Amino acid sequence: MKNIRRDFLLILPFFVFLGFFEIYPILNLFVKSFFSDKGSFTLQYYRNIFLLDQYRLAIRNSLLFSTSASLFGGILGTFVGYFISHLKRSTKNFLLSLYSLPLTLSGLVVAFAFIVLLGRNGVLNQIIRLLFHLPKDYYIDIYSWPGIVFVYGFFQIPLMTLTMAAVFENLDKSIVEASKNLGATTFQTWRYVIIPSLAPGFVSGLSIQFAGMLGAFGTVLALVGGEKNLLSIQIYFQTSESTYNLPQSAALSVALILIISVVLSILNLVERKLKPGG
């Protein structure tokens, strides 16, 4: 009995935190999305999501942006993770500790760093113009959709590197050696042995990236303000002083949560299917 009471007291703070900072805010959003400012029940805010072009476009842009940036960061992070996993342990641990630092930075810091480096008059743009004798109006445009995908994808490389470096380390070397001993070429070994073994970890890393990308807005807001139409940006502007519309913001937030939940469920299903015996 004492052990049960002790265990209950130990997990009680967790449930209190979960209730106050996760369950209550989500339930509050859900309730607010069904009531107007005057307190009357309505489905209009959800109708707006399906009927108004600005919201439909925001959802489409968010899905395309998150998918593109996640794949970009995921593929590059996998290559970096592969090379790091083959380094000496001391060097590898040092690089992985450095790679964890960008994950602690806010979106505003990331945006400022890229503006300094690749802004219209950024350091790298000036160097490129000088080396290749390009006109002053030439610059790598980080304010366009491809530029924003590059910024977010590049920022997510460390996260995927940390994930995939661990996956490469845990890769069963015996099956790789067995494949080579049986006469398989390097391409065949990668195609039929290594890639299938890495696929579940890759999908798991993509899930983490995608969830973060779909809700991210700080870096985009700092780079282009409201010029780019994303679902997270729409939610932010619906709570600003100029357009303050809390019920609509709540409905958009619920839509964002549902989209993330559906996509993560699909990716989780794919991950399970890719695992041996799945």
* Mean pLDDT computed over 33-41: 90
CATH superfamily of 52-274: MetI-like (1.10.3720.10)
* Mean pLDDT computed over 42-61: 95
* Mean pLDDT computed over 40-55: 95
SS3 at position 104: helix
Residue-wise pLDDT for 186-223, tens only, equals: 889 989 988 999 999 999 999 999 998 898 888 888 88
Task: Give the Cα separation of 61 and 232 in Å (integer).
Answer: 11
Task: Give the Cα separation of 268 and 122 in Å (integer).
Answer: 40
* Mean pLDDT computed over 44-58: 95
pLDDT of residue 254 exceeding 70: yes
Is residue 198 within 8 A of residue 168, CB to CB? The reply is yes
Q: What per-residue confidence (pLDDT) applies to 2? A: 62
Question: Given the structure tokens 């696929």, which residue do they identify?
Answer: 199
* Mean pLDDT computed over 159-164: 91
* Mean pLDDT computed over 232-238: 91
Q: What would you measure as the largest C-alpha separation in the chain, in angstroms? A: 79
Task: Give the Cα separation of 256 and 191 in Å (integer).
Answer: 36
* Mean pLDDT computed over 60-64: 95
Say what the pTM is.
Answer: 0.88
Q: What per-residue confidence (pLDDT) applies to 219? A: 86
Q: What per-residue confidence (pLDDT) applies to 8? A: 74
Contacts 24+ apart (CB under 8 A), 67-71: 67/210, 68/149, 68/153, 69/148, 69/149, 69/152, 69/153, 69/156, 69/209, 69/213, 70/153, 70/156, 70/206, 70/209, 70/210, 70/213, 71/153, 71/206
Q: What per-residue confidence (pLDDT) applies to 250? A: 95
* Mean pLDDT computed over 244-266: 94
pLDDT range class, residue 1, cuts 50, 70, 90: low
Using the 8-state DSSP alphabet, how is residue 239 labeled?
A: T
pLDDT range class, residue 241, cuts 50, 70, 90: low
Residue-wise pLDDT for 68-126, tens only, equals: 999 999 999 999 999 998 888 888 888 888 878 877 887 788 888 888 988 888 999 89
Nearest to 45 by CA among 271, 238, 273, 242: 238
Residue-wise pLDDT for 162-191, tens only, equals: 999 999 988 888 888 888 888 888 889 989
SS3 at position 100: coil
